[in-house]
Amino acid sequence: MGFFAAPILSLFVLGLLTRRASFRGWLVGLVCGMGLTVFLKVYFGEQLMPIWLIPSSFVVCAIVGYGANVLMPGSGRVDARVSDQ
């Protein structure tokens, strides 16, 4: 639950609050958020309370996901005006 709850929540938050949200940016944020969770769990283990894993993963996923959307122009968006020819 801790691995996927925060990244999925950040997907909804990015989709609701920004117009730049795209799948690629969210995927980059997901990988970073899950990587942070694994890092904290492996290296800090019992020293870190598990309640801190979800908020830290959410913050990293949202910030990195939004940053990736800003840095990758045209990241997977499909223009509705383009017709299939």
pLDDT tens readout for residues 28-65: 988 998 888 888 888 888 888 878 888 888 999 999 98
26 CB burial (10 A radius; 0-12, 13-18, 19+): buried
Q: What is the pLDDT of residue 69?
A: 86
Q: What average pLDDT score do residues 75-79 get? A: 49
Q: What is the pLDDT of residue 85?
A: 52
pLDDT at residue 75 above 50?
Answer: no
**What is the rounded average pLDDT for all residues in the chain?**
80
Q: What is the pLDDT of residue 10?
A: 87
